[in-house]
Amino acid sequence: MKTSNLGYPRIGKSREWKRTLEAFWANTITKKEFHAQMKTRRLEHLQAQSEKGIDLVPTGDFSYYDHVLDTAAMFGLVPERFAYDGGPVPLSTYFAMARGEKGAQACEMTKWFDTNYHYIVPELEQCAPKLVDNKPLRDFLEAKRELGLHTKPVILGPFTFVTLAKGYQPEQFASLLQRFIPVYQQMLQELAAAGATIVQIDEPALVLDITKEEMALFTATYKEITQHVPELALILQSYFEAVTHYQELIALPVAGFGLDFVDGLEANLAAIQAYGFPADKILAAGVIDGRNIWRSDLEKSVDLLKQLSDIIPFERQMIQPSSSLLHVPVSVRQETELDPTIKASLAFCDEKLDELTLLKDVISGAASKEKLAAHQQSYDELIRSDWRKKQEPDAVRAKRTSSFQTRYELQQQKWQLPLLPTTTIGSFPQTKEIRNIRAQWRKNECSTADYQARIQAEIQKWIAIQEEIGLDVFVHGEFERNDMVEFFGEKLAGFTFSKNGWVQSYGSRCVKPPIIYGNVAYMGPMTVEETVYAQSLTSAPVKGMLTGPVTILNWSFVRNDIPKQEVAFQIAAALLQEVQALEQAGITMIQVDEPALREGLPLKKAKRNDYLHWAVEAFRRSTSAIADTTQIHTHMCYSDFADIIEAIDALDADVISIETSRSHAELISAFEHNVYDKGIGLGVYDIHSPQIPEVGEMLALIERALTVLPPSLFWVNPDCGLKTRTEAETVAALTNMVKAAKAARAKMLSTR
């Protein structure tokens, strides 16, 4: 039995990767220094895995931004607007694809399957792939040369790559896939010539509801690829769920298959038991949870591996995480302030690698029973704690008392908003000064009074800016908030926080998810003070800003001893009390954001209705026991919404804003075939790009949306919060947005 890893977190123990990336973007280090620092990070990560005793250390998982973008660049797949003229893709072009540049909009960014990681969507309109840079080969040779490590190259497979791309019609899929076969053959042949012996090909699309025809294409693709590299041991790797066509998969002429025995445990195990496993192939068993941060129940893992050994001998098993460890922080060792019981129950990336080694030693007999028992004791202690005592749910109301139309008329009378009202999503720029004073306050280096005064000064400044720009509905700016989930978790029972538990979300953007270790409960007002203060400065309505229950759930590391829906309902009950506190304080326009509602959608369609049922109910539990005149907004982002329009409607929010600027036309097409009869704002510019949108550009997006949505219900807003933008970018972009809204408004009124 060997141990294997699928991928290591890029960001480093103290986010060194992020700092190098942002220093390069800020022109404070040269390109040469950038490459040198990134090489140091890359080698450190390989060394760390080797020292943990991992037999098969991956290379190719390290990226300057995103591994899907890496694959597109490797094949020279650069959209025409970036003026690429062939050869290895320049670093400037690579980053322009991710972030945009003057005259060239960034490529679309969306969620990686059902995770909170974002990938850059490849565009295949003019698809003529060539191997312009064999990155897996470079990384393999570097590890061999610098560290003497014989690694396992990791590449994203062609089927998944094309599946995740855009810019083609469904009937073109087969012909596009065929174009990638020669370049994958070339890449693998070059790896084999350089001495690579085993290659991990990630094909997570295998767990989607692919058809028999699509699986036949998959089979034909790999039969053709493998003919040209018979000397390579190819491991087809799936994760996040069970594979859909197990029998067809195991018939493929490859060396082995990686299956997820965490999220796909029941179905993958049942398939092996029902159909067996080829006697000449390797099973790469994902038995350690690659996406959550709790210690593994290794006794269960041992039992599972022994059960599998009845069909697949241990010598043909590799044990590994269920997915890349990109989705978890690097090490628990740096967490010096956590409760000892909670800390002992955690396993970040490095600890998961230790678990793999221990599991291997237990199976081989090299580890003592006492060592396994000590691990198990730490696992069990939190499970038995009072923090996790069973709670009986409270009786709740999960439906507004009146219909949307009744509420709409009452709210229109109350607010008297103009046609196409303008607003923002919530946050305004978090300057270095704001972050510093918050850090000082947390360290008791600044008094609470001084901190609150500084926050109020920032709120006052941005209320004045919103007045000057001419927005119709204001926000207070969220200057007191570090992160939209962490902020609420800090004020609710049942949450705790790491000091360095960062994970990559997109690009250099890292988040530190809260840890839900016990029962969630409301402990008092969380947002009332700042929102009421902001409202006292203006006659325009100021929205209360909350993060919704499903997003808090999906963007946290969640306890795994009870169903997720129970945790979601606990959070919803707490948020309802905050909504009612805002309402009682006179804040009756309240936004409860659910940007992560769709990302939690199960990958298997058969499981989706159940998820959507409880996710919608959780939102409604948090927003229903209020007056008809209280207007509930929500916000969603990074999603294909066409298949969940009914669930969005069922939320019964008075206004929903949807992040769409990078894929505006695609979402509008969804409304051409689905009626949506509540307030809606389709984001008219991309806040992730530093480019300032032109008035005409946004006006065109507004007018396009109004061809399928009623003007009386349409709102104009940016794609998302503006926390990461500069003040100058924010003011310029919002000024243009208001001008575009006023131009559309005037044009509509003149034709009435």
Can you name the residues that pair with 258 across neighbouring β-strands? 237, 284
Long-range pairs of 386-395 with CB within 8 A, sequence gap ≥ 24: 387/494, 387/517, 387/518, 387/519, 388/517, 388/518, 388/519, 388/559, 388/561, 388/562, 389/519, 391/519, 391/570, 393/566, 393/569, 393/573, 394/573
Q: Which residue has the tokens 């503006």?
A: 722
Token pair belonging to 701: 């997006």
> Binding residue per annotation — 478?
yes
Catalytic residue among 45, 118, 633, 688: 688
> Binding residue per annotation — 680?
no
Q: Would you mind telling me the total number of residues written for the chain in this entry?
A: 752
Long-range pairs of 187-192 with CB within 8 A, sequence gap ≥ 24: 187/74, 187/131, 187/134, 187/136, 187/137, 187/155, 188/225, 188/228, 188/229, 188/232, 188/234, 189/228, 189/229, 190/134, 190/137, 191/134, 191/136, 191/137, 191/140, 191/153, 191/232, 192/229, 192/231, 192/232
Contacts of 488 (CB under 8 A, 6+ apart): 526, 546, 547, 552, 575
Token pair belonging to 30: 């040269």
> Binding residue per annotation — 425?
yes
> Binding residue per annotation — 17?
yes
Contacts of 462 (CB under 8 A, 6+ apart): 428, 476, 477, 479
Reported as type and span, the H/E element at residue 549 is: helix 549-554
Report which of 501, 689, 435 is spatially closest to residue 11, judged by C-alpha positions: 501
Q: Which amino acid makes up residue 580?
A: Q
Known active-site residue 327: no
Assign 3-class secondary structure to 177-204.
HHHHHHHHHHHHHHHHHCCCCEEEEECH
Q: How far apart are the first and last CA of the chain?
A: 75
> Binding residue per annotation — 102?
no
> Binding residue per annotation — 85?
no
> Binding residue per annotation — 39?
no
Instruction: Give the separation between CA 35 and CA 21, rounded to whole angstroms.
Output: 10
> Binding residue per annotation — 426?
yes
The Cα-based distances of 622 to 182, 474, 574, 634, 647 in angstroms read 53, 22, 8, 12, 16
> Binding residue per annotation — 15?
yes
Reported as type and span, the H/E element at residue 456 is: helix 448-469
Q: Which string of b and e fits 485-512 if b means at least 16 CB within 10 Å?
A: bbbbbeebebbbbbebbbbbbbbbebbb
Instruction: Give the separation between CA 487 and CA 552, rounded to whole angstroms.
Output: 10
Q: What count of other Cβ atoms lies within 10 Å of the Cβ of residue 186? A: 15
Q: What count of other Cβ atoms lies within 10 Å of the Cβ of residue 148? A: 8
> Binding residue per annotation — 593?
yes
> Binding residue per annotation — 446?
no
- In terms of DSSP bridges, do strands 109-111 and 118-120 run parallel, antiparallel, or are they unpaired? antiparallel
Q: Which amino acid makes up residue 166?
A: K
Token pair belonging to 563: 């169903």
Do the beta carbons of residue 427 and residue 742 sit within 8 Å? no
Q: Which residue has the tokens 């090489």?
A: 39
> Binding residue per annotation — 677?
no
> Binding residue per annotation — 70?
no
Report which of 88, 68, 93 is spatially closest to residue 76, judged by C-alpha positions: 88
Please state the separation of Cα 323 from the chain's center in Å: 14
- Phi then psi for 287, rounded to 5 degrees? -105, -10
Do the beta carbons of residue 6 and residue 323 sit within 8 Å? yes
The Cα-based distances of 497 to 428, 500, 512, 552, 722 in angstroms read 24, 9, 8, 14, 24
> Binding residue per annotation — 442?
no
Token pair belonging to 199: 């290659």
Do the beta carbons of residue 271 and residue 246 sit within 8 Å? yes
Report which of 404, 418, 390 is spatially closest to residue 623, judged by C-alpha positions: 404
SS3 of residue 515 by DSSP: strand
> Binding residue per annotation — 427?
yes
Do the beta carbons of residue 423 and residue 717 sit within 8 Å? yes
Instruction: Give the separation between CA 89 and CA 101, rounded to whole angstroms.
Output: 15
- Residues tagged in the binding site annotation: 15-18, 111, 116, 425-427, 478, 509-510, 555, 593, 599, 635, 637, 659, 720
- Residues tagged in the binding site annotation for L-methionine: 425-427, 478, 593
- Residues tagged in the binding site annotation for 5-methyltetrahydropteroyltri-L-glutamate: 15-18, 111, 116, 509-510, 555, 599
Which residues are catalytically annotated? 688
- Residues tagged in the binding site annotation for L-homocysteine: 425-427, 478, 593
